[in-house]
Chains A and B, each alone.
Chain A
Amino acid sequence: MEKRLLLGDEAIALGAIHAGLSGVYAYPGTPSTEITEFIQTNKEAIERGVRSRWCTNEKTAMEAALGMSYCGKRALVCMKHVGMNVCADAFVNSAITGVNGGVVVLAADDPSMHSSQNEQDSRFYGKFAMIPIFEPSNQQEAYDMMSSAFELSERLKEPVLLRVVTRLAHSRAAVEVKKAADQNKLNPATDNAHWVLLPGNARRNYLDLIDKQNDMMKASCESSTNDIITINNSDKGKWIGIVACGIGYNYVREALNGIKDNEDNYMIMKLTQYPMPVEGIKQMAEVCSEILVVEDGQPVVEEEVKKLVDTSYKVEGRLTGRLPRTGELNPDNVSLGLGKENNPLFKPAKNLAGRPPQLCQGCGHRDVYTALGEVVKEYENARVFGDIGCYTLGALPPFKALASCVDMGASITMAKGAADAGLWPAIAVIGDSTFTHSGMTGLLDAVNDNSNVTIIISDNLTTGMTGGQDSAGLNKYEAICLGLGVDPDHVRVVVPLPKNMPEITQILREEINYKGVSVIIPRRECIQVAARHARERAKQNNK
């Protein structure tokens, strides 16, 4: 059998292709981006015509996947955890319509917030929508689970959530790969009552979904990757129960290997498919004197286990402090939780400084902030509402330009709300990709209210933050703003370069002083992407 060295993300991508995927729908977001990028460049996927272009946001992605599923084909939706918030409406309701072709929704969580604004746990969304959740513990399982997830989705006629965390998404290991299965044939659904969520239909569908809960539980109990492992060290020792979710299982095994002269015995439930097998937990509680729940993310399972046992029974985990309440698991904090002594360590270094990320030298966003800094000084109450992207780094020194950064699109709408409250000047800075993701609707609100806001769409022709993916609105920004009703005299385009500083600052002043919605579009390609394009052109010319 062929073995390949794959990132967790790549294993998911290849697993999906080999499971007969017909389309991936995604918006970039660390740590999920590499899944779609792999499918976009994979030869097999290209030959098989797998649809893979980036979507405008996670909601359009989820809905398009549902449309493909309606036609009987298998679709994958990929996003980072906060993308689940954006597609939540479509996601939760897809459990009510159910699916035709298999749908797998991949959410990549980011405990410790390596590159995110929170560490929300996507398993809550799976529970909320009442659908099965898969959580692989390693790259091989990630690959294998894609086909089991699609099969389960088609058998239950429900979408399946597959949850990974940064450490698995961005870690490589050898994976045994199989032959690709055929794609499903076009076979559009005919049961309109299931797909038209009028209250009468939806009530029936919801009861169906409730009925399916038993089947979901049965599938979890029969899952080949949900396992009970016992480690019997000595007849004298007590029995300790461990529920180890996803990659938490690896840390548990690593830690137990390292405990010397250990007399305790362990019953470990490796949990990689939800709903959690309740009977197994009850049996564990009968044999073991306590249960430790090891899960990356929020204490989802810990709370469930607590509900299954007497209040006097000891359930330990993140809620009790045996494991840290926040941040990702690692072999050290899990070892500590299992009572392993730490290795002797070198003292922390004294001559050490943080190396925070910065805007690249020569990045156009820099020139935007230089100009903005100069102009904003002239207005006592000026506030610049920020958004999410490379340009968020404008919040850090030397610029310290931003008053806020919350979620994608919030710059425009917060500036609008602030202007409504009487703040002036209310300025928004948003990137091109973020603008099409979630900024356009806010701009329409501002236009309809004739809000006194100045909106800067810093257009670097790409999605820079996540590595330079195509931006959905490329070459369409002026047209979009005009179409939404911004006055053509107040849609201004500039080239952010140091030599243009006088022009840019002048335009900024004019538009701040204009009472109404103005949009300034500083446009210059991201230099990282420009360099990549130059390399690609050189390669083409050499051919």
Chain B
Amino acid sequence: MKKDIILCGVGGQGILSIATIIGEAATEAGIYLKQAEVHGMSQRGGDVQSNLRLSTDPIWSDQIPTGEADVIISMEPMEALRYISYLRHDGIIVTSNKPFVNIPNYPDEAALKSELDTLPNVQLDIEAIAAELKSAKSANMVLLGMAAPYIGILTVEQLRKAVSVIFARKGDAVVEANLRAFDRGVEASKK
């Protein structure tokens, strides 16, 4: 089995920690993994993207070919559309529905939403959920929870465990906040 995942968003939204967690889970599960990042100018509000390839067989290319991504996991709705040519026809987009507007020519939000709706997608206001949980910084974990059931090659439990491993060095309170956010994401994806 193989799963190709594109992670995307805007610099500072926590895309790379999602990648780290999936990486940890994959390593622990003993499957093959390649994770390519583009983070040249990320800290300055540019777009960030990571290609994650998970497989039970050895993986050749670090980059995912177009039309082969099983899931696009995005912290931002327009960023999800940027990688649409990578999505398989039977793939899915899991995205935050909240635009991050830091450019003057951000597209019309209604048009953006209706375009997203022509594609296989799941959307959620992850920032609202994180705010509700009083942990705005864990919005990315809500998103990971939401995407967890679609990752397939790793179980939700395996991913959950990786969340606690990765945040462990930041102390119990941080681990718990992130697990709560992750669980809410998983729940939301069932609805």
Q: Which residues of A come within 8 Å of B, CB atoms?
A: 3, 5, 30, 114-115, 167-168, 170-174, 247, 250-251, 253-254, 257-258, 330-332, 335, 342-360, 390, 393, 467, 528
Contact = CB atoms under 8 A, between A and B. Distances in A.
A30 to B, nearest CB: 6
B81 A168 contact: no
Interface stretch (B28-36, B134-142, B146-154): B28-36
B78 A173 contact: no
Given A171-B36, A357-B46, A528-B43, A351 B78 contact: yes
B78 A352 contact: yes
Nearest to A112: B38
B66 interface: yes
Contacts of B41: 115, 357
Nearest to A542: B171
Nearest to A361: B45
Q: How large is the interface on B (under 10, 10 to 19, 20 to 34, 35 or more residues)?
A: 35 or more
Main secondary structure of the interface of A (DSSP, over half): loop
Nearest to B67: A343
A359 B108 CA distance: 25
Contact of A332 (B37, B51, B65, B119): B65
Interface in B76-123: 78-79, 81-82, 84-85, 87-89, 102-103, 105-108, 111-112, 115, 119
Contacts of B43: 360, 467, 528
Given A174-B27, A332-B66, A350 B115 contact: yes
A332 B34 CA distance: 17
A63 B29 CA distance: 45
B62 interface: yes
B65 A171 contact: no
Contacts of A356: 46, 103
B63 interface: yes
Contacts of B84: 346-349
A171 B102 contact: no
Given A343-B67, A357-B45, A358-B102, A167 B62 contact: yes
Given A167-B36, A172-B23, A345-B66, 7 more contacts: A167-B63, A173-B62, A254-B61, A330-B65, A347-B84, A355-B45, A528-B43
Nearest to B24: A5
A330 B63 contact: yes
B183 interface: no
Given A351-B112, A528-B43, A170 B87 contact: no
Contacts of B112: 351
